[in-house]
Amino acid sequence: MTSAQIEIQLIACIVAVACAIPGTFLVLRKMAMISDAISHSILPGIVIGFFLTEDLNSPWLILLAAFSGILTVVLVEYIQKTGLVKEDTAIGLVFPSLFSIGVILIAKNAGDVHLDVDAVLLGELAFAPFDRMIIGGADMGPKSLWVIGIILLVTLTLLLAFFKELKISTFDKQLAATLGFSPVIMHYGLMTVASVTTVGAFDAVGAILVVALMIAPPAMAYLLTNNLKKMLLIASGFGIIGAILGYWVAHWLDASIAGSITTVLGVLFFLIYMFSPNRGLISVLYRQKRQEVEVHLLTFLLHLQNHSEKSERHINHLNEHINWHKVRAQSVLDLALKNNMITIDDSIISLTEKGKTFTSEAINYIITNKSAAIEEMKDRFFLFRG
């Protein structure tokens, strides 16, 4: 790898982590759309800042642009508070207006400004290493690495200091307020971090990748864990994986780096959405199926316990009386046999001792509404699950 390649990947990884942190809270607050809005409506701030400073990495420009990001949030909330439209509508009203102001400003001054809408939206990570930070004649590395590095450092410090406050104000605003933590301060603090990160990252990676990095990795992490700290770590991890993998896909296909990273993130999300062990689509369907069979098994065992007469315990009776399809009757029967809960003698089914204990215990738990106990009991009795 050349040093430029390493620098590009380093920048992409740092951007990924800097985005994953505020992104996690945005996703949990169901505010994913607002990051999209911020990423577009910072444009007028960037343009005005650029006219004033002529430097895309100037701290003044970053502050000015971050300010237009916060202005977006304030405007959205103001419109929403009137009660006339919903939040998504308010977002849809605000950010195109601000974005188009930015576009008009650029068009009006296109002649003498090196700044175009494409660059703002898509960025060009490949060029990031060319813009160097020179202090006293010494080369200190790419400028955008410094900018985003400092932003990440500040974000991390804030996260460590205010983790508990962020958590409680996201989980339960009312409790946060009654315990003396101002949810309003936390809200605007988070919005400020999100805006500053977006602005700091846009020059290197473009607005669209910023949104993808803020939303996709936390959304994946959300599907994998029940713990906020782990969610932050996993989200950062996925961000980094997406950044590095995306870089090499771009290298291999000779395509846009930002575009490749976004695509990789999309593919990763799809895989996790399908295969996540707890909340993934496949495991959810599998669990539903299993519980369905197990409920039928219980119904069947209950029936056996309630009826001593042979006619009620004949195999064919399963089809007729309990009214099950052949397939279902067969799978229930198989499951009961595999778990040694029944014996079949001359087409007559009888409960074994184990089957009897299981059934009585299960009834007991069902009556007292102890679903946790039932799951625990299944683990105890079942050799094979449904």
Partner 1 sequence: MKDKIAIKVDDLTVAYNFKPVLWDVDLSIPEGVLMAIVGPNGAGKSTLIKAMLDIVKPIAGTIEIFGKPYKKQYKEVAYVPQKGSVDWDFPTTALDVVLMGTYGSLGWIKRPGKTEKKEALEALEKVGMLEFRSRQISQLSGGQQQRVFLARALVQKASIYIMDEPFQGVDATTEKAIINILKELRKSGKTVVVVHHDLQTVPEYFDWVTFLNVKKIATGSVKDIFNDDNLTKTYGINYKVSLLQ
**What residue ranges bind partner 1 (CB under 8 A)?**
28-29, 161-165, 167-168, 170-175, 177-181, 222, 225-228, 230-231, 369, 371-372
DSSP state of 69: H
Instruction: For the CB of residue 297, give the shortest distance to partner 1 in the complex, in Å.
Output: 23
**H helical segments located in the chain:** 3-28, 32-41, 43-53, 59-81, 87-108, 117-122, 143-171, 173-178, 183-205, 207-224, 228-253, 257-275, 281-306, 315-320, 326-338, 353-367, 371-381
Give whichever of 142 and 239 is closer to partner 1, judged by the CB atom. 239
Residue 38: name the closest of 201, 238, 266, 262 by CA: 201
Give whichever of 4 and 28 is closer to partner 1, judged by the CB atom. 28
Instruction: For the CB of residue 234, give the shortest distance to partner 1 in the complex, in Å.
Output: 10
- CA–CA gap between residue 361 and residue 377 (Å, rounded): 8
Instruction: For the CB of residue 365, give the shortest distance to partner 1 in the complex, in Å.
Output: 14
Burial of residue 28 (number of CB atoms within 10 Å: 0-12, 13-18, 19+)? middle
Give whichever of 171 and 275 is closer to partner 1, judged by the CB atom. 171
Within 13 Å and on the Cβ side, how many CA atoms surround 376?
7
Instruction: For the CB of residue 22, give the shortest distance to partner 1 in the complex, in Å.
Output: 16
Instruction: For the CB of residue 154, give the shortest distance to partner 1 in the complex, in Å.
Output: 16
- Strands 342-345 and 138-142 turn out to be unpaired
Give whichever of 46 and 231 is closer to partner 1, judged by the CB atom. 231
Residue 24: name the closest of 184, 266, 232, 197 by CA: 232
Give whichever of 31 and 301 is closer to partner 1, judged by the CB atom. 31
Instruction: For the CB of residue 168, give the shortest distance to partner 1 in the complex, in Å.
Output: 5
The partner residues of 349 in beta bridges, in order of sequence, read 344
Give whichever of 323 and 369 is closer to partner 1, judged by the CB atom. 369
Instruction: For the CB of residue 226, give the shortest distance to partner 1 in the complex, in Å.
Output: 5
Give whichever of 165 and 334 is closer to partner 1, judged by the CB atom. 165
- CA–CA gap between residue 34 and residue 75 (Å, rounded): 12
